[in-house]
Amino acid sequence: MKITMAQLNYHIGNFSGNTDKMLSAINEAKQAGSDIILFSELSTCGYPPRDFLEFDDFIKLAEESIERLKSVSDGIAIVVGSPSRNPVVEGKDLFNSVYFIADGDVQFIQHKTLLPTYDIFDEYRYFEPASEWGIVEYKGKKIALSVCEDIWNIGNENPLYTVCPIDEMMPFNPDFILNVSASPFSYKQAEERLNVIRANVERYNLPMFYCNHIGAQTEIIFDGGSVVMGPTGNVYDEMPYFQECIRTYDLEEVTSSPRSQTQEKDKIALIHDAIVIGIKDYFSKLGFTTAVLGLSGGIDSAVTAALAARALGGENVRCLLMPSQFSSDHSIADARQLAEKLGAPYNIIEIKDIYGAYMEKLSPIFGDLPFNVTEENIQARIRGALNMAISNKYGNILLNTSNRSEMAVGYGTLYGDLAGGLSVIGDVYKTEVFALARYINKDNEVIPINSIIKPPSAELRPNQKDSDSLPEYDVLDAVLYEYIENRRDPQDIIAMGHDEALVKRALRLVNRNEFKRYQTAPVLRVSTKAFGVGRRMPIVGKYLS
């Protein structure tokens, strides 16, 4: 038996486009003599569809996609994820299902049992969990069908759940397992995914074909990395990350061969590729083509510009250089050098006079009050207004250049440097931004070395450095990582050897600045706990304030 895996990039709600992609893949699989083609979770509608699922018309369009797939299922079985209706009165109206289509009809439907409701997931809001399990027989083989999370409770050991769906299928003696998935990217996920698949394979002594999405849906990114694993736990194949890919496998070869090959899993390389596809898909799926950003000569805007140029083409990334009286000459030179390296159009707009006009109008109100963060924020907001003017006039989407460390502690100005339609590196700590810069420069110098080695500064007052207001980033990032990703209590972080006063100050800043993050752009998710939909904190909470 031959099985084709189609790892594709879907577009939420684009039923005709998604189905056309699948039809093309089916044609390719037929030419390869395949018996079964496997797509991923909710392929017809894209993942996650969220409240679109509450519209009856949305479900009807998914059903029409299934009808189109049925019409081409002569000689090949199609395994595809799609929502299905719950025919009974009790429970949710929908299931998250995997369809087995062959010979012009739906032969079998298996509903998803384990509905993740944590981090970025909210499936129990929409779907009823399965309460029955079975297998489908096709061409002399017994096949277990499963949907994503259903393989993440091996032996019922996951405390989130009370049933192991694959265990329930074992009495039917399946020959292999097919899994349709929408497993979001984090830089740790690829390795963890292999471990989970291997644990299933070794428990049941069956090969598994695991098909994942690729591409980005707003802030959530899917890396692909679809897996074919033999019954002994060898990775027969791991598909490329962040690329559409269609490959056909011989079941007997997968079952008997000791072959094992996996993709490289370098953290910074994965983050780089994830952000590039995140930018590319955000623009293409919304119908945008050009971006604008403020280029300061610092490392954050430099890395953002370089990533945007790789996603969109340098010619489609307009850079605004907006020096003030506090900007150093080398910052302007560094910004100009980068824009020219990227082939990005740029304009220089000095803001000294604009700032002066603000201060003249405000001086009767401010009187003799001393210079403070107010004047710094005015400069940031002038730059935000200029960026937005270009965005409005030319249809460029403003890219936000704030890093995660700054966003965590509120080191940014609302309606100023926190403005933008997409936060590119808002899930990348400052220390990781430096690593990204070095990765971007690995073959040749793209980002000026001076932007990498000079002390970080917002350049909003004379001789300003970030370290005047914040701990050194390597110290700060370690504390933030333990609090945000690992959800450690303050006393636990202090017990790890971190300074008590620093920990309490940093965590207080994180909690107090939730109101800023609530008003910022979607953040491309590359970690296990990004700001945004996967981290839901109250704005007015008192904890650690």
pLDDT of residue 425: 98
- Nearest CA to 161 out of 197, 203, 212, 123 is that of 123
pLDDT(458) > 80: no
Report the C-alpha gap between 439 and 271 in whole angstroms.
10
Q: What is the pTM of this model?
A: 0.96
**What domains can you pick out in the chain, each with its CATH number?**
2-263 (3.60.110.10), 272-466 (3.40.50.620)
The mean per-residue pLDDT over the stretch 479-488 comes to 97
The mean per-residue pLDDT over the stretch 297-326 comes to 96
| In 136-250, alpha helices (H) | 165-169, 189-204
Report the C-alpha gap between 300 and 473 in whole angstroms.
13
Q: How confident is the model at residue 49 (pLDDT cuts 50, 70, 90)?
A: very high
The mean per-residue pLDDT over the stretch 361-375 comes to 95
pLDDT of residue 283: 98
pLDDT(141) > 80: yes
Q: How confident is the model at residue 462 (pLDDT cuts 50, 70, 90)?
A: confident
The mean per-residue pLDDT over the stretch 76-87 comes to 97
Element of type H or E holding 57 = helix 56-70
Is 112 assigned a catalytic role?
A: yes
Q: How confident is the model at residue 349 (pLDDT cuts 50, 70, 90)?
A: very high
Catalytic residue among 21, 112, 280, 430: 112
pLDDT tens-digit series, residues 511-524: 999 999 999 999 99
The mean per-residue pLDDT over the stretch 356-377 comes to 95
pLDDT(72) > 80: yes
pLDDT of residue 23: 98
Catalytic residue among 21, 41, 341, 432: 41
| 130-134, 143-147, 204-208, 455-459, range with the lowest pLDDT | 455-459
Q: How confident is the model at residue 473 (pLDDT cuts 50, 70, 90)?
A: very high
The mean per-residue pLDDT over the stretch 226-234 comes to 97
pLDDT of residue 329: 73
pLDDT of residue 89: 77
| 186-195, 199-208, 322-331, 505-514, range with the lowest pLDDT | 322-331
pLDDT(22) > 80: yes
Is 315 assigned a catalytic role?
A: no
Catalytic residue among 21, 45, 123, 148: 148
pLDDT of residue 330: 78
Residues 6+ apart with CB under 8 A from 8: 18, 21, 22, 25, 39, 40, 43, 213, 214, 244
Mean pLDDT of the chain: 96
If you count DSSP H runs as helices and E runs as strands, how many of each does the chain have, helices first?
17, 19
pLDDT(189) > 80: yes
The mean per-residue pLDDT over the stretch 281-295 comes to 98
Is 41 assigned a catalytic role?
A: yes
The mean per-residue pLDDT over the stretch 477-486 comes to 97
